[in-house]
């Protein structure tokens, strides 16, 4: 089966690349993936698979092998792009001005289409069911995964296991990365409005200085990570935007602060956010002002189920070779695949796409992001092998 999958991945590689080029040329923003949905649906229908719309711009489909009720494995690819002006000089450059597949979701979708074609060709050679999840809106809260779950993507049939992959521009093409347990962080956005009483900078005694209050709030909040967090759970609190529209001799009425809180434990996440609110409000009150706190809840932390991830790593070693499978570090970025990991045993792994010799070195979310496209054949083949390996158990 392994060699047959490799052969099919190679046979379908030109088509997989062509799919990626189309998607890259025609990117669409989160919750707006109407043409992408249509394109993916057409590709599925062309190989005899019936797509079912879900979450407005998403799709779900089924491949049934022999004894389809034995086990169900779900495979997910995200489809949305980012509001970035592409700077690459390539034949398949984005034609939607200001929109770019700068996070590799075109790669994920094209790869899953390739995996779909491979597995559909082999459906009489494995037992169980494969559930294909083409998901919109990974890049924008509340996240397409949460919407799909709410609309029943993890039901009828309910998957026993779920797999997802993501491009890794820091990993050389031809290599795959795995990590058991905690892998990616939750991500919540913090918006603070510190209110005081503005006035002349030479007469601070008749003002309530929101700049000073904001400074104390930011400094005081550092204790949340350094003194309140359990050291076993990585966490980050960063404030990246502070606006105080005063002048050299003007104390403003308000100061605006924006930041992010990230965690790898849901209990600590809730506790940390509560401390953010309390410190901001009480510090402002103690200094004579007020602070309005708005917290935009984002994605939960991502947990790779250890036993499944261990099996997938072992299967990847069989497919790729020991030297091409690496261990990943914790990553404090966020990914809405995390929602699935809180409902079903899941494994989210990384697909190497870097090629320094070809100058393919840009990171995700940059205007020059691109991949070594040999990763597409690897991605489609490996996901097919991981799926049949898990279904065989």
Q: Can you tell me the mean pLDDT for 174-183?
A: 98
Q: Can you give the C-alpha Rg of the chain in angstroms?
A: 24
> Which pLDDT band holds residue 240 (cuts at 50, 70, 90)?
very high
Name the strand (E) or helix (H) holding 151: none
* pLDDT at residue number 45: 98
Residues serving a catalytic function are 299, 373
Q: Which domains does the chain have, with CATH numbers?
A: 2-184+301-391 (3.40.630.10), 188-296 (3.30.70.360)
User: In the structure, what pLDDT confidence band is assigned to residue 379 with cuts at 50, 70 and 90?
Assistant: very high
What's the mean pLDDT in 356-361? 98
The pLDDT tens digits of the residues spanning 327-341 come to 999 999 999 999 999
pTM of structure = 0.95
The structure tokens 């031809």 sit at: 174
Instruction: Give the tens place of pLDDT for each residue, 55-114.
Output: 999 999 999 999 999 999 999 999 999 999 999 999 999 999 999 999 999 999 999 999
Torsion, Cα 278 283 284 286, to 10 degrees, reads 120
CA separation for the pair 62, 68 (Å, rounded): 10
- As to burial, measured by CB atoms within 10 angstroms (0-12 exposed, 13-18 middle, 19+ buried), residue 2 is middle
Q: In this structure, what are the phi and psi dihedrals at residue 159, rounded to the nearest 5 degrees?
A: -70, 145
What is the reported pLDDT for 136? 98
What CA–CA distance (Å, rounded) separates 244 from 255?
5
What DSSP line would sit under 27-93, residue for residue?
Answer: --BTT--HHHHHHHHHHHHHTT---EEETTTEEEEEEE-BSTTS-EEEEEEE--BBS-------TT-
- pLDDT for position 241: 98
């Amino acid at each position: 089966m392994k060699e047959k999958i490799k052969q099919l991945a190679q046979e379908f590689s030109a088509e997989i690349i062509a799919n990626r080029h189309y998607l890259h040329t025609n990117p669409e923003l989160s919750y707006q993936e109407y043409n992408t949905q249509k394109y993916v649906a057409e590709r599925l229908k062309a190989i005899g698979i019936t797509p079912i719309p879900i979450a407005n711009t998403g799709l779900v489909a089924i491949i049934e092998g022999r004894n389809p009720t034995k086990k169900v494995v779900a495979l997910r690819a995200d489809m949305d792009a980012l509001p970035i002006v592409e700077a690459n000089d390539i034949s398949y450059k984005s034609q939607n001005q200001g929109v770019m597949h700068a996070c590799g979701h075109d790669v994920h979708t094209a790869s899953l289409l390739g995996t779909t074609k491979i597995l559909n060709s082999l459906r009489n050679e494995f037992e169980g069911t494969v559930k294909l999840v083409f998901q919109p809106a990974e890049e924008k809260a509340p996240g397409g995964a949460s919407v799909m779950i709410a609309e029943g993507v993890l039901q009828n049939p309910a998957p026993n296991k779920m797999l997802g992959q993501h491009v890794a521009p820091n990993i050389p093409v031809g290599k795959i990365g795995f990590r058991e347990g905690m892998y990616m962080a939750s991500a919540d956005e913090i918006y603070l409005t510190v209110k005081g009483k503005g006035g002349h900078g030479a007469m601070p005694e008749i003002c309530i200085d929101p700049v000073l209050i904001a400074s104390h709030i930011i400094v005081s909040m550092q204790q949340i990570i350094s003194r309140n967090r359990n050291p076993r759970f990585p966490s980050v609190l960063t404030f990246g935007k502070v606006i105080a529209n005063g002048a050299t001799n003007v104390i403003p009425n308000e100061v605006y602060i924006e930041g992010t809180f990230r965690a790898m434990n849901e209990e600590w996440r809730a506790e940390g956010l509560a401390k953010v609110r309390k410190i901001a409000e009480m510090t402002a009150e103690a200094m004579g002002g007020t602070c309005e706190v708005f917290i935009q809840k984002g994605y939960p932390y991502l947990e790779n189920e250890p036993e499944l991830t261990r099996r997938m790593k072992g299967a990847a070693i069989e497919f790729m070779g020991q030297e091409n499978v690496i261990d990943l570090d914790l990553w404090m970025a966020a990914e809405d695949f995390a929602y699935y990991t809180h409902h079903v045993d899941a494994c989210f792994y990384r697909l190497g796409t870097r090629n320094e010799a070809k100058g393919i070195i840009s990171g995700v979310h940059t205007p020059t992001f691109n991949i070594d496209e040999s990763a597409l054949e690897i991605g489609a083949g490996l996901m097919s092998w991981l799926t049949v390996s898990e279904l065989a158990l």
